């Protein structure tokens, strides 16, 4: 066991420490991954309440199955795989169609709702409209495009990691990300034209 501060350990070192029953290592894993996982699942499911449940269940699975993790894969790949599978199971079960429900909008607005007095209100509103339109377009994407684009462009994972998480070949991931982006380009073109017209 090394004596490095826990915050400076890599993810793989942390899970190794947790496999040696170091509870603080698990706390650090939760601290590192709770928000990225939550952001990913919220974007995928569009439901904040169920997203929290799925992220918690992900950590429960990590906690109970810590010995199933082997150093051959990156820890981030493993934990994203668990979260992604749980989210997809939930989606299949509930057949979620509303990507951003009213309740989730309410919660998300808290994150960027504070308008500074020095900020141009029109720009702030425009920014929100833009965000809303992009989120709605993401919602319309088929699941396999959506998860690939979210993992690549929102979570910033590498193509190789995404291929491992989704259990598909690297070429398939690139194709899905590309096709997902192409679909999203339409709404962005519309937004760019709007901005040009006003400018």
Partner 1 sequence: MVSPEQNDAQMMEPGIGSGEQRVRSALQALPKATCPVGFEFRLERRLSGKAPRESRQSWGMGWLGAGVGVAAAMVLSFVVFDFGSVAGTNPAGITGTPVRQSGVQIEQPADVAKTTIETAAPATQPELTPEQLAATKPDSMKDKTKPGTLPDGNYQTVGTNPR
Q: Of 11-19, 40-48, 79-87, 118-126, which segment contacts partner 1 by CB under 8 A?
A: 40-48
**Cβ proximity to partner 1, 1 vs 110, nearer residue:** 110
**Cβ proximity to partner 1, 133 vs 168, nearer residue:** 133
Q: Burial of 22 by CB count in 10 Å (0-12 exposed, 13-18 middle, 19+ buried)?
A: middle
A 10 A CB-CB count for 164 gives 20
56 binds partner 1 (CB under 8 A): yes
39 binds partner 1 (CB under 8 A): yes
**Which one among 15, 48, 75, 157 touches partner 1, defined by CB under 8 A?**
48
Structure tokens at 56: 């918690």
Instruction: Give one DSSP letter per residue of 77-126, joined into a string.
Output: HHHHHHHHHHHHHHHHHHT---SS-HHHHHHHHGGG-PPPTTS-HHHHHH
DSSP structural state of residue 169: -
Among the listed residues 140, 115, 138, the one whose alpha carbon sits nearest the alpha carbon of residue 126: 115
**Which one among 11, 22, 53, 126 touches partner 1, defined by CB under 8 A?**
53
Q: Of 2-10, 90-98, 149-157, 165-173, which segment contacts partner 1 by CB under 8 A?
A: 149-157
194 binds partner 1 (CB under 8 A): no
Q: Of 12-20, 58-66, 85-93, 114-122, which segment contacts partner 1 by CB under 8 A?
A: 58-66
Least distance (Å) from partner 1 to the CB of residue 32? Answer: 12
66 binds partner 1 (CB under 8 A): no
Letter string b/e over residues 64-90, b meaning 16 or more CB atoms within 10 A of that residue's CB: eebeebeeeebbbbbbbbbbbbbbbeb
Rounded Cα distance, 110 and 128, in Å? 13
**Cβ proximity to partner 1, 20 vs 185, nearer residue:** 185
Residues contributing to the site for partner 1 (CB under 8 A): 30, 34-35, 38-39, 42-43, 48, 51-53, 55-57, 59-60, 63, 107-108, 111-112, 130-131, 134-135, 138, 149-150, 152-154, 156, 178, 181-182, 184-185, 188-189, 192
């Amino acid at each position: 066991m090394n004596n490095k501060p826990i915050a400076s350990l890599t993810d793989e070192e942390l899970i190794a420490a947790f496999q040696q029953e170091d509870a603080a290592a698990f706390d650090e894993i939760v601290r590192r991954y709770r928000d990225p996982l939550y952001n990913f699942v919220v974007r995928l499911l569009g439901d904040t309440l169920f997203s929290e449940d799925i992220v918690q269940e992900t950590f429960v699975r990590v906690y109970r199955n810590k010995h199933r993790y082997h150093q051959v894969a990156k820890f981030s790949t493993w934990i994203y795989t668990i979260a992604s599978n749980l989210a997809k199971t939930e989606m299949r079960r509930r057949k979620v169609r509303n990507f951003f429900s009213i309740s989730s909008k309410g919660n998300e607005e808290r994150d960027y709702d504070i308008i500074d007095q020095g900020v141009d209100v029109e720009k702030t509103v425009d920014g929100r409209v833009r965000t809303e339109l992009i989120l709605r377009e993401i919602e319309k994407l088929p699941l396999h495009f959506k998860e690939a684009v979210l993992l690549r462009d929102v979570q910033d994972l590498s193509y190789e990691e995404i291929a491992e998480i989704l259990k598909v070949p690297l070429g398939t991931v690139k194709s899905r990300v590309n096709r997902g982006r192409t679909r999203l380009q339409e709404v962005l073109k519309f937004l760019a034209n709007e901005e040009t017209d006003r400018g």
